[in-house]
Amino acid sequence: MSATQGERLGWLGTGRMGTAMAGRLLDGGAEVSVWNRTAAKTGPLVERGATAVATIDALAGASDIVLVMVSADPDLLAVTTGADGLLSARRPPEVMVDCSTVSAEASAEVRRAAEASGVAFLAAPISGNPQVVGAGAGSIVASGSQGVYERVRPYLEMIAPSVTRVGPAEESRLVKICHNLMVGMVTQALVEVTALAEKGGVDRAEFLDFIGGSALGSPFVRAKGRALADRDYTPTFTTRLLRKDFDLGMGAARELEVPMPVGALVRQLVQSAIGQGYGEADFVALYEVEARAAGMRDGAA
């Protein structure tokens, strides 16, 4: 898809995921200015045609629409409502789109501040790791006014083939947190049955090949199965970030009075993985916690 509206886009936050997403916009022919707290991280996007700017104020002034990808609530608040944030710019953008995975409370705070400043706000978190998103297989769930959504949708569709609007306010935040809770729970189920089969004498890789090709197989299960077979914990999404999302999910469940017994248990197992030194590893390192609990030394019976 090529850019059709000719609007100037800004991208704030060029970590692994932000780089993958902004790269999709550049590939689609969009004009993109980029800013990141660590300026050197904008380099790969500049090489692909983006324009780096020195400050958030400059980013806002150069952009009609600014898309944001940061790690957590404090980061989002700092770059939007903070003293040097987008809403304090001399010329704020017309629209802010936040693609981060943050709480509904932080999102609502930013939405209120944006609307008070005359800036439209769309919450649009994304599903998929940087490799998946870079390959054009991500999925975006959005919430905000229909008019803002329609204005931004062509750009979201450059980033991901699946874009869904689920409501007028912070509904997309809950949807994304539910998604990530399921990611953790499915992974825990996968590592448990893998450890059981392996301790019973089945080759780990062969077992995971079978699961990947069965009715239970999916792109996610097959990808995590390959990593698990090799015990490759190169991070696509870290265990520490998964804990953050489980904390958000458990908070939402408490507020809405929804029992989450499986989710609560997996959250504690995620904490165990972090305590055992896997905080910055990919969350499929949950296998190591399971293998040790099963009395399997070094991941082998």
Q: How far apart are CA 26 and CA 29, in angstroms?
A: 5
Neighbours of 54 (CB within 10 A): 9
Strand positions, DSSP E, 90-192? 95-98, 120-123, 126-127, 139-142, 162-165
* pLDDT reported for residue 231: 97
Sheet of 126-127, strands arranged across: 126-127, 139-142, 162-165
pLDDT classification of 5: cutoffs 50, 70, 90: low
- Can you give the pTM of this predicted structure? 0.90
Residue 191 token pair: 């590592």
Tens-digit pLDDT profile for residues 20-39: 999 999 999 999 999 999 99
Instruction: Return mean pLDDT, the chain.
Output: 95
Kindly tell me the number of DSSP H helices and DSSP E strands found in the chain. 13, 9
Give me the residues paired with residue 164 across strands.
141
Tens-digit pLDDT profile for residues 171-228: 999 999 999 999 999 999 999 999 999 999 999 999 999 999 999 999 999 999 999 9
Triad 253, 259, 260: Cα angle to 5°: 80
Asked if 233 contacts 261 with a C-beta cutoff of 8 angstroms, the reply is no
* pLDDT reported for residue 6: 79
Tens-digit pLDDT profile for residues 63-119: 999 999 999 999 999 999 999 999 999 999 999 999 999 999 999 999 999 999 999
Triad 103, 275, 190: Cα angle to 5°: 75
- Segment 46-69 mean pLDDT: 97
Q: How far apart are CA 142 and CA 149, in angstroms?
A: 8
